[in-house]
């Protein structure tokens, strides 16, 4: 409720006092920095202690294989959905814009960052140059790589490593308590971030491109309700119950326009719903880089919008090429504001048919679509965690039923509770 009130208050200030709204940006930035500061150690401690406690190390590879299979399949479905909707609705048709007349200066920075997004650089970037560097840079994939490796090492050592594992478990309890303390500032962060968004871009900035924004939001909503809803039903729960369970976190994501702001809380909520810690520790962080349903829908939909707006007729072959490139370039995109725009630039820089200058058309409204991308990505990762846990037959049915059948959500605040019950 505090986050919801903060979002409404921030929107009102941004609309009626734009300068004040823009000036409140540091509040949102400071909160996100607080959360990002502790994400790496939380992920590291969760994964290491989870894997170190596994008796069957083969299950680590099995869980990872199932997770990546799920990510690849549903990421592709999301890309196809965006492609189909863009062809049916044609949100950019009739604009007749000459790409040569577009002001591209604002897009150049994104294009420059996109040049570094090659497959080789991405794969090499998973391996940190130093262990400390991975934590210092906050690179989640590098932290994940080291955490899995170290967890496997501790598990193979066995009893001699038990004191260190207990120490790491105690440190994990301390960090989750720290998360709870920082999350008390969530309403302030959401207030500042949303006030800035409305104050800087204004509600009117989406008027001319309302067709694209509306199409994207509706497509994402249908993807969550229909596609993920069917997956959820097959896994034994309702997508609407899951959304209700995560409503506080979803409001936080909406306010900050960043799914990372609620990552620690999502991990805690998934454990509370009966998903085992090792699976949560593997699936959630990797999903933030490899399972970006909202970003995938956005990329194909936005690319075809630019093509339609600039009167470029893409053949089926061109669209399939776009689909293939987007499938690769979307992997590794971070769950932070602006990452989807950079990934789109990386895709268009490889596909010559669509002018990258056309991104100037959607730069002004990208922030409004960023919220929807983050929300869809967040829900998709929650579903993936439960599904992979189901495939492993590792769900705590009592805890699962308590959340999804008895709907006993407990306190609906975007904070993890105290340390987990030792039993």
pLDDT tens digits for range 5-52: 888 888 889 888 888 988 988 888 888 778 778 878 887 887 788 777
pLDDT of 416: 42
Count Cα atoms within 13 angstroms, Cβ side, for 381: 36
Share of the chain above pLDDT 70, in %: 81
* Model pLDDT, residue 419: 41
Which sign does the torsion angle of CA 60, 63, 66, 69 carry? negative
147-166 per-position pLDDT tens digit: 888 888 888 888 888 899 88
Q: Which residue has the tokens 């260190």?
A: 164
Distance of alpha carbon 268 from alpha carbon 279, whole angstroms:
12
- What's the length of the chain? 423
Tokens found for residue 378: 């967040």
Average pLDDT, the chain: 80
Whether the predicted pLDDT of 120 surpasses 60: yes
Confidence band, pLDDT 50/70/90 cuts, at residue 421: very low
Among residues 319, 255, 304, 272, the alpha carbon closest in space to that of 35 is found at 255
pLDDT in tens, 368-411: 788 888 899 999 999 999 999 999 898 999 999 988 887 766 64
**pLDDT tens readout for residues 41-82:** 887 887 788 777 666 667 777 888 898 899 989 989 999 999
- Nearest Cα neighbor of 324 from 174, 119, 149, 53 is 119
CA-CA distance, 143 to 148, in Å (whole number)? Answer: 9
CATH number assigned to the domain with residue range 2-404, chosen from the 4 options 1.10.3860.10, 3.30.710.10, 3.90.1150.10, 1.10.10.60: 1.10.3860.10
Mean pLDDT, residues 299-321 taken together: 85
What pTM value is reported for the model? 0.72
User: Domain ranges in the chain?
Assistant: 2-404
Give the pLDDT score at 388: 94
Contact 280, 286 (CB under 8 A): no
Asked whether the predicted pLDDT for residue 418 surpasses 60, the reply is: no
pLDDT digits (tens, 9 = 90+) for 213-244: 888 999 999 999 999 999 999 999 999 999 99
Stretch 172-193: mean pLDDT: 82
Query: Of the ranges 164-178, 295-309, 322-336, 374-388, which is most confident?
Result: 374-388
| CA 323/CA 342 separation, integer angstroms | 16
What value does the mean pLDDT take over residues 179-189? 81
Q: What is the mean pLDDT of residues 410-423?
A: 42
Q: What is the pLDDT of residue 80?
A: 92
Query: Residue 337's pLDDT band (boundaries 50, 70, 90)?
Result: very low
Q: Decide if pLDDT at 366 tops 80.
A: no
pLDDT at 117: 54
């Amino acid at each position: 409720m505090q986050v919801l009130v903060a979002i409404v208050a921030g929107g009102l200030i941004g609309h009626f006092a734009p300068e004040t709204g823009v000036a409140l940006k540091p509040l949102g930035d400071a909160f996100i920095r607080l959360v990002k500061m502790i994400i790496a150690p939380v992920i590291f401690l969760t994964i290491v202690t989870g894997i170190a406690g596994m008796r069957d190390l083969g299950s680590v590879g099995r869980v990872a294989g199932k997770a990546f299979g799920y990510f690849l399949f549903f990421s592709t479905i999301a890309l196809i959905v965006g492609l189909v909707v863009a062809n049916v609705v044609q949100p950019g048709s009739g604009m007749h814009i000459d790409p040569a007349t577009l002001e591209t200066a604002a897009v150049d920075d994104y294009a420059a960052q996109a040049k570094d997004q090659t497959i080789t650089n991405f794969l090499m970037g998973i391996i940190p140059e130093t262990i400390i560097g991975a934590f210092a840079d906050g690179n989640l994939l590098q932290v994940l790589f080291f955490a899995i490796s170290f967890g496997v090492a501790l598990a193979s050592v066995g009893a001699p490593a038990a004191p260190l594992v207990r120490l790491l478990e105690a440190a994990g309890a301390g960090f989750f308590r720290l998360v709870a303390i920082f999350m008390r500032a969530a309403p302030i962060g959401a207030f500042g971030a949303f006030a800035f968004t409305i104050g800087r871009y204004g509600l009117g900035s989406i008027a001319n491109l309302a067709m694209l924004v509306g199409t994207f939001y509706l497509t994402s909503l249908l993807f969550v309700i229909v596609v993920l809803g069917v997956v959820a039903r097959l896994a034994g729960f309702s997508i609407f119950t899951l959304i209700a369970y995560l409503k506080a976190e979803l409001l936080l994501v909406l306010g900050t326009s960043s799914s990372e702001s609620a990552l620690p809380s999502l991990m805690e909520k998934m454990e509370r719903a009966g998903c085992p810690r090792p699976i949560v520790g593997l699936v959630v962080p990797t999903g933030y880089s490899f399972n970006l349903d909202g970003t995938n829908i956005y990329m194909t939909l936005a690319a075809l919008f630019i093509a339609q707006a600039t009167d470029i007729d893409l053949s089926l072959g061109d669209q399939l090429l776009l689909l293939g490139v987007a499938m690769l370039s979307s992997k590794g995109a971070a769950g932070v504001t602006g990452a989807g725009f950079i990934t789109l630039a990386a895709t268009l820089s490889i596909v010559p048919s669509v002018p990258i200058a056309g991104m100037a058309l959607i730069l002004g409204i990208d922030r409004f679509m960023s919220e929807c991308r983050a929300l869809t990505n967040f829900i998709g990762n929650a579903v993936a965690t439960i599904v992979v846990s189901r495939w492993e037959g590792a769900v705590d049915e009592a805890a699962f039923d308590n959340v999804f059948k008895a709907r006993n959500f407990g306190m609906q605040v975007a904070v993890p509770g105290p340390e987990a019950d030792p039993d």
